[in-house]
Structure formats: structure tokens, C-alpha cells
A and B are shown apart, each in its own frame.
Chain A
């Protein structure tokens, strides 16, 4: 029986895919009588099946060596594309995480989208996400990883563009698609360049190849840079981070999923590619640089936001930056651990603020206040999520951060300082959000704010429970560092920076706070509030260039290329119009023409 579940692991993505198809008949134009809700229930059922299957397969797999499945997808001259599956505790565990988070997010959406008629589209896309991500973590081939990344990019476009009658949604979905697409396209260059070098796209075989590969440094560097471009866009790293900010225009339940797991798909591919990236020290240094820049920059931006969803979305970028740093220094295990704890924490944070936004309507932090006494469960959820995300208490992310510190302190102290700084800044920003929403005096928008109904409350409390159990789970899996190897001064430093950030923000924002707090000059504050004016930078640089270039090319096509062809037609018309005047109507002129013709022919004959 256990063997059966292992052999049919490929069903896990299929359940979600079937759910995606089954949801569609409840689109408003197809089944008109029942309303859209059955599509949600069908998908909850299919996701539960996927979760159950994943759990059974995981328990069957526990303590066993990983094994692989392989299907032949396409065989043409000289190219054999196989669809490889790697079935290990890690990959099946990842599908359990994805299906579990998706189940909770879908249940949350049952409450959140209560007054929405577009369930079929929403649940279908959520299921597509789940299918894509489960397939991504199970597949062991770079080529198919790329395919699933692209499917997820399309899914992001459609899901962010869910309420497409809002203009900001349309631009946000556009930016999300194009930004991620650019990264994916560069990734495709890397993927295509890798095949002639390595002869395989299988991750396991790539790792074996990379051990003995002897590449020219420049080739390895360019290859690695192309390969990290895809995850850069996916993980919303500088300078491709704007899309995640604008993707916050989509519905909250999808944000739960996106910020916890979809964004981490890039990190997953990055972790899998680490042996290839390690071929070039330049690539690893770039990874660390981008990760460090994003980690600090996004953490600072998050502090300066007034929109609650955006304040959290930048901390996603920031933590993905830490994952980049971890991969850039070769610590893939820590990176995966960080992705795991971050997913739990962000899902919980987004559920909590989703529950708050749902019946307080505004997303503006300046209009919130004093919800703690009336929204205790949402507040506790936020606190637990924040504590899981930052290294303050020994919850969740504390442990991967400790391991990062342990590793960096002896080799690269400045990266240890970076981790501590990001920890402090994130603690500050999350406490600020908490203080502005739950602390202080009540504002108009939050004066009557009841706790939400059970479909939102249940996933929130379940998630809180999971987040509290993460350290126990990690201890059970023996993923925690042993007590003897723990450097207590570093652990203390981590807790102290977290406490410092929390304390500072708590002092500033929790009590009767001033209307708005000014740090430094106004331009300094706005520099972070407008996320480094990245939108303007895009518009001037890439968008401007492509825009001008495409206008020019369009002009060339319209006037030069079309013009040449049209000119021949016009010249023919014009010559006809002019030459007809040779028919003068005077017979004597005709006679003269005859004579001149004869003369000419005569002269020619004479010669």
C-alpha cells in the first residue's frame, strides 16, 4: 500500500489540475443557477486529496532513500527529453507544504471571497498554482522546471488580474507578467546554453557533472548569471522587485499563497542549481550581492510603507534576499529551511492582515488603530507570524538565521552583520505594522471592527498552531543545530537585534503615537516610501528605451518600408496621369510623332 502511494506520487499535481478543470463550469456564463460556490468546494476537496496523498507518501518514504521515476516526453533526432521525478522526503514534504498552505488559503478564500462571484476563475487559478508548484518540486529536470516556472508566471498574471475592472490591477498584472517573463527568458538562455556543456538537464546529473566540469571561467560566469536571472525575477530581487509590490492589487487569499510559496519557487530552482552556479565564484558573489542589497533595501522600504499588504510584501523580498545570500555562500540546506519557515510565517501574517482588511476595508496603516482588544485572534496570529519570521524567540526562522550566523561569523563577518541588520529591520517593520493596526487609539475606519467568520478564522488559528509547532517539527526532523555547536553569543546577538527592532518600534508606535513619524528629511523618507523610485527608473531606462525603439521601428515600417512599396504604386499612377497628356487630340501632333518615330527607326537602321 505504501509502495502504491510512492509509485503514484505524480498524482499529487494531477489532483489540483483536475480541480482546476472542474471549477470552470461554475463560471458565471456557464452554470447560472447554483452560483459560484461549488467550484470552491470541489477544489477544497481535490486539494485535501493531494494533501492526504502527500502525507501518506511522506510517511511511507520516511527514512528511505530517494528514488526516481522517469517518463519519456519527447524523442527526436539527437534530443531525448525525459520527465524525471525525484521522490525524496524533501520533495514530497514540499508538496505537503504547498498543498497544506493551498488548502488553508482556499479555505480562507471561502470566507474572504464571500461576496464575490468569480470563484470559478479564482479557484481554478489557485489550483493551477498548486499543480504547477507541486510539479515543480517533484520534477528533477531543469527543462521542466522552466516550463512550470512559465506556467506559474502566466498563473500570476491571471490571478493578479482577477478584478480586472480596476485599472491598477491591470497595470499590476502586466508588470508582474513582464518582469517575471524577462527573468524567465534569460533563464531560458542559460538552460539552452547548459545542454551542450553538460549534456543533461537532470538536476542530479548536473550536480555530478559540476563536480568534474572544467569550464572556461567566462563561460561559467555568463551561464551562471543567466541561470540566476530567472530566480531573481521570481523571488522579486533587486532590480526586478516592483512586480511583487504591484501584485498586492490581487485578492488577499492569492497573496497568501504567492508570498509564502510561489515566490519561493525561484529559490527552489536556485537551490537545485547551486552545484552549477558554484562553478563560478563571480556568480556566487553576485548572488550574495543581490541578496544582500535586496535584504537590506526591501527591509528599509517595508518600514516606510503605509499600505499594510505592501509593508509585508517587501519583507518577502527581503527574506528571499537572505535565501539568495545563503545559496550564494553554498548553504543550500539552510536556504531550504529558511524558505520553509518563511512560508509558514508569511502565510500566517497575510492571513492575519487579510482578516483585518476584510472588515476594516482600508489598507492604509495610518487609518488603523486600537484593534487589539477587539481582534485578539487576528492579533495573536500576527504576533506569532512575526515572531516566526524574525529571529527573536526560538520560533521558525530563528534557527536558519542562527545557522547562517554560525557559518558567516568565522568566514565573512559582514554577512553575519547583514543577517543581524535584516533581522532588526524586519522586527522593526513588523512591530510597526502591529503597533499601527492593533495598538494606539481607535480611528474612524477601525472603530467598529468585529472578528471575522469561521472560514477565515479557522485557517488563521490552524496556521498559528503550525507556526508554534515549527521548532518541534524541526527538532523531530533533526534539522536544528546541536546544542553543543551553538554559539551562544551569536544566538544572543540575534535575539537582541530582534528585540531591539521590536522594542524601538514598540516605543515609537504602540502608545499614543503622533499622527505620522518623520525620520530624517522628507525626501529621505519618500525615497524609501516610493521604493527607491524604481517605477520611474524602469520608465526612464528599460521601458523608455523599448518604447522609443518600438515607436521608431513602427515609424520605419509605416513610412520607409511601406513607403517604398507605396511609392512604386504612386509613381505608376502619377506617370499615367502625366503621360496621358501626350494624347493631345491634335491629329497633326500624331502625324509629327509618327514621323519622328520613323526618323528615329531610320537613323537606327542606318547605323
Chain B
């Protein structure tokens, strides 16, 4: 009965990340919430690989890839935020509503 607890924890983390993703006004906090999502997914991958695939541990390989891609994505994300900030001098998500109807 160990796997379920890990999965529950991962989904709780994921939901917290979602909450942060749609409610944060600071763009950096949005990126942080995305990191939280990735980590929730990684926790899932690790626990599945531990409990269901302990010989080949393919989940751990997945998690390694996710971590590297997430790092690159966070770097690009921060670059985008920086370039927006240079133009608009704010990182408030609610100021970025120019592309509407």
C-alpha cells in the first residue's frame, strides 16, 4: 500500500502547482508553479519505477530527462520573462492581457 501514498502526494503537489499556475500574478511564481508540476510528475515516475518496474527502472530514466528538459524550459521561461520585463517594466500577469478579442 505504499504506491498509493506516493501517488496521492504527487497529485496533491500537482494540484497545488495548478492552483499556483492559474492564480499567481507574478510571472516568476507561475514558472515556479510549473516546476512544482514537473516535480509532481517526477515523483510519479519514480514511484512507479520503484514499485512496478524495479529491475529496469525506466521511470528513473524518464525522470532524468524530465529534469533536464525542465531546467532548459525554466531557463527559456526566465529569458522570456526578462524580455517582457524590459519592455513593460512589470512582471504582473494581469498586465499582459493585450492579445484579447
Among A580, A581, A585, A588, the residue within 8 A (CB) of B98 is A585
Given A591-B21, A592-B22, A581 contacting B93 (CB threshold 8 A): no
Docked pose: A587 CA to B100 CA in angstroms: 10
Given A592-B22, A595-B18, A587 contacting B101 (CB threshold 8 A): no
Shortest CB distance A584–B (Å) = 6
Docked pose: A591 CA to B34 CA in angstroms: 12
Which residues of A have CB within 8 Å of B24?
Answer: 588
Complex contact A584–B100 (CB within 8 A)? yes
Complex contact B101–A586 (CB within 8 A)? no
Q: For the complex, is B96 an interface residue (Cβ under 8 Å from A)?
A: yes
Q: For the complex, is B99 an interface residue (Cβ under 8 Å from A)?
A: yes
Shortest CB distance A576–B (Å) = 10
- Interface of A: prevailing SS: helix
Which residues of B have CB within 8 Å of A586?
Answer: 93-94, 96-97, 100
User: Which range contains the number of B residues in contact with the other chain?
Assistant: 10 to 19
Docked pose: A21 CA to B76 CA in angstroms: 94
Complex contact B96–A587 (CB within 8 A)? yes
Within 8 A of A (CB), among B65-98: 93-94, 96-98
Complex contact A585–B99 (CB within 8 A)? yes
Within 8 A of B (CB), among A583-604: 583-589, 591-592, 595
Among B21, B99, B100, B101, the residue within 8 A (CB) of A588 is B21
Which residues of A have CB within 8 Å of B97?
Answer: 584-586
Which residues of B have CB within 8 Å of A595?
Answer: 18, 22
Q: For the complex, is B30 an interface residue (Cβ under 8 Å from A)?
A: yes
Within 8 A of B (CB), among A551-607: 580-581, 583-589, 591-592, 595
Q: Which of A584, A586, A589, A595 has the most CB of B within 10 A?
A: A586
Instruction: Name which residue of chain B comes closest to A577, CB basis.
Output: B101
Docked pose: A584 CA to B22 CA in angstroms: 14
Complex contact B101–A583 (CB within 8 A)? yes
Which residues of B have CB within 8 Å of A585?
Answer: 96-101
Which residues of B have CB within 8 Å of A591?
Answer: 21-22
Shortest CB distance A540–B (Å) = 59
Complex contact B93–A587 (CB within 8 A)? yes
Which residues of B have CB within 8 Å of A588?
Answer: 21-24, 30, 93
Which residues of B have CB within 8 Å of A583?
Answer: 100-101
Which residues of A have CB within 8 Å of B96?
Answer: 585-587
Shortest CB distance B3–A (Å) = 21
Instruction: Name which residue of chain B comes closest to A589, CB basis.
Output: B22
Shortest CB distance B97–A (Å) = 4
Which residues of A have CB within 8 Å of B99?
Answer: 585
Docked pose: A587 CA to B97 CA in angstroms: 8
Instruction: Name which residue of chain A comes closest to B30, CB basis.
Output: A588
Within 8 A of A (CB), among B4-49: 18, 21-24, 30
Which residues of B have CB within 8 Å of A581?
Answer: 101
Shortest CB distance B24–A (Å) = 8
Docked pose: A585 CA to B18 CA in angstroms: 19
Shortest CB distance A602–B (Å) = 13
Shortest CB distance B32–A (Å) = 14
Q: Which of B21, B23, B101 has the most CB of A within 10 A?
A: B101
Instruction: Name which residue of chain B comes closest to A585, CB basis.
Output: B100
List 18 additional contacts besides A585-B99, A585-B101, A591-B21; criterion CB under 8 Å: A580-B101, A581-B101, A583-B100, A584-B100, A584-B101, A585-B96, A585-B98, A586-B94, A586-B96, A586-B97, A588-B22, A588-B23, A588-B24, A588-B93, A589-B22, A591-B22, A595-B18, A595-B22
- The 7 A-B pairs with the shortest beta carbon distances in the complex, nearest first, are A585-B100, A585-B97, A580-B101, A588-B22, A592-B22, A583-B101, A586-B97
Can you list 17 A-B pairs with a CB-CB distance of less than 8 A? A580-B101, A581-B101, A584-B97, A585-B96, A585-B99, A585-B100, A586-B93, A586-B96, A586-B97, A586-B100, A587-B93, A587-B96, A588-B22, A588-B30, A591-B21, A591-B22, A595-B22
